[in-house]
Chain A
Amino acid sequence: MTDFVLRLLRLDRRVIFLLIAVATLLPLLYPVSLPIRVSPEVQRVYDYMEKLPAGSLMLLSMDFEPGGKPELYPMAVALLRHAFQKNIKVLGMTLWPAGAGIAEIAFTEVAREKGKEKGVDYVFLGYAPGDASAVISMGQDFHAAFPADYYGTKTADIPLLQKVRSLRDMQYVMSLSVGFPGIDTWYVYGKEKYGFELGGGCTAVSAPRFYPLLDTGQINGLLGGLRGAAEYEVLLGVKGKAMAGMAAQSATHFVIIFLIIVCNALYFLTGQARGRQR
């Protein structure tokens, strides 16, 4: 018995890999739709966006690389859809060099879907180097921070940016962040001085550390991971990638919970067995 339990405890990790692969694959092949409850932190972002009048300026900083795409791209798409539906003007950018391509794809795809015009309804500014320097520079003099947009067009010639002088002109700033630089950078070097309202979206792995900022109102809402994106899709009433992934997310979580319970049960069994042998 003890030998069997010990063998189970030393299970080849490739068996666990296979279990996870199957748990991910099956719900994607045979999706089951379950209701998704919306958490207050996501609701607050949605409500704030809802209250913004048409023509308001929103800055969407997509501070992530392709590695964060599965969690943050659906958020970006949902937020852009919401903004364009409400005729909010969106300025896009990234503090991560490798994120420029993915951010541009999100902007062009959603703008095309909603029939929005570049330079009039939205602007994609591209990559801003320097983390804190970039945010401060935008707060001090927007056009000095971005002399040209992603495509090399002078920002002074872009109609949407004619009246933009600083971050103070933004009605809302959303940072979708995979790490540092991200939400913290926008708060510490941006909101703290330039006083705009700030919301955040982040990968699930970094979500727990933003709860203190949420509690103090330093960020007005938070979309945490794929679940956060799915909740936003529920509020928008549009089934997107995040909602589709929730069944697989459920299955994999339960596989991990099962593994933890099994390994602990086996651990105690072997402990008791060792105790009896003594």
Chain B
Amino acid sequence: MSAEVVIGAWVAVGLSLCMYSFLYKDNPFFKFGEHVFVGVSVGYLLTITYYQVMTNKLYIPMTQQGKRWLLVPAFLGLLLLARFIPSIAWLSRISFAFLLGISSGLAIPRQISSFILKQVEGTLKPLVTVGDGGVAWMTWAGLNALLVLIGVVSVLFYFFFSLEHTGTVRRIARVGIYFLMVSFGAAFGYTVMARMSLLIGRFDELMLYASASYGYATPVLLVAMIVGLWWWERGQERKT
């Protein structure tokens, strides 16, 4: 195992434990880890923006492909930064107007086609199928298609706030609520799944770094963190 990997493991474990110390309570170790995280994120984003955007998407096409007109979007991009100087902050509006105008224009027809027409089309499936064996009424697929249709219509009724929810509308909207509750329950189940996966991923790495080849980084630093928290807690008690 090379020295840089072992040192890396110790750094990763130390910083991970700083973050986990928040589970005990907010403390200086967590705050340190949190600010290191913000710092490296900013540093990484700036570097990536410089090399992947300014160099690859701007400098190379301008200097090697003769696309000098790309100075115009670069200028519009710079105008965005005018927001930092109060006297000329209004200049950034031109760039925002440009970005929002284009993105709104691009979004409208595509959203209609992708998320409204296609989804309506997907909801209207045949409930009865005609095949070689004759007419098939109420197959399992047909029943599911009917349930989806009822679900979509009732959920849309529930969201239709401009219509007063009384009588039949109220009853349909209530069916919609139950469909939503099943979906939110499923979403909660999937959220638990996602969060636990993240924990498994981190613990898996911490366990790897607990081995002898990494100098027992995890157990050693865990003990150090506990001692550190105890020391800090004692200091807090003395202050009060």
Contact = CB atoms under 8 A, between A and B. Distances in A.
Contacts of A149: 56
Interface string B52-82: 1101110011001100000000000000000
A127 B44 CA distance: 12
A163 to B, nearest CB: 19
Contacts of B41: 98
Interface stretch (B27-35, B89-97, B187-195, B228-236): B187-195
A24 B203 contact: yes
A205 interface: yes
B195 to A, nearest CB: 8
B67 to A, nearest CB: 8
Interface residues of A, number: 56
Given A216-B119, A241-B204, A208 B194 contact: no
A152 to B, nearest CB: 7
B198 interface: yes
Given A97-B48, A152-B55, A154-B64, A189 B110 contact: yes
A203 B193 CA distance: 9
B113 interface: yes
B62 to A, nearest CB: 9
A42 interface: no
B171 interface: no
A176 B13 CA distance: 27
A14 B187 CA distance: 25
A71 interface: yes
B119 A212 contact: yes
B219 to A, nearest CB: 13
B202 interface: yes
Q: Does more than half of chain B's interface fall in helix, strand or loop, or is it mixed?
A: helix
A100 B200 contact: no
A241 B148 CA distance: 36
B29 to A, nearest CB: 16
Contact of A132 (B53, B107, B200): B107
Interface in B93-130: 102-103, 106-107, 110-111, 113-115, 118-119, 121-122
A78 to B, nearest CB: 15
Contact of B191 (A17, A101, A204): A204
Given A97-B48, A100-B52, A249 B207 contact: no
B139 interface: no
B57 A129 contact: yes
Contact of A70 (B61, B202, B207): B202
| Most chain B beta-carbon neighbours within 10 Å: one of A100, A101, A148 | A148
Given A70-B201, A101-B44, A205-B190, A188 B56 contact: no
Interface string A219-231: 0000011110000
Nearest to B204: A28
A215 to B, nearest CB: 6
A227 B189 CA distance: 13
A150 B121 contact: no
Interface size class on chain B is 35 or more
Contact of A14 (B24, B49, B60, B202): B24
Nearest to A67: B198
Contact of A28 (B52, B190, B207): B207
B110 A204 contact: no
A227 B45 CA distance: 31
B48 A100 contact: yes
B51 interface: yes
A249 B200 contact: yes
| Most chain A beta-carbon neighbours within 10 Å: one of B56, B190, B195, B207 | B56
Nearest to B41: A98
Contact of A150 (B52, B102, B187, B191): B52
A204 B52 contact: no
Given A152-B56, A225-B190, A14 B23 contact: yes
A205 B194 contact: yes
Interface string A123-155: 000110100110010000000101111101010
B200 A28 contact: yes
B11 interface: no
A60 B75 CA distance: 32
Interface of B: 23-24, 41, 44-45, 48-49, 51-53, 55-57, 60-61, 64-65, 102-103, 106-107, 110-111, 113-115, 118-119, 121-122, 148, 183, 186-187, 190-204, 207
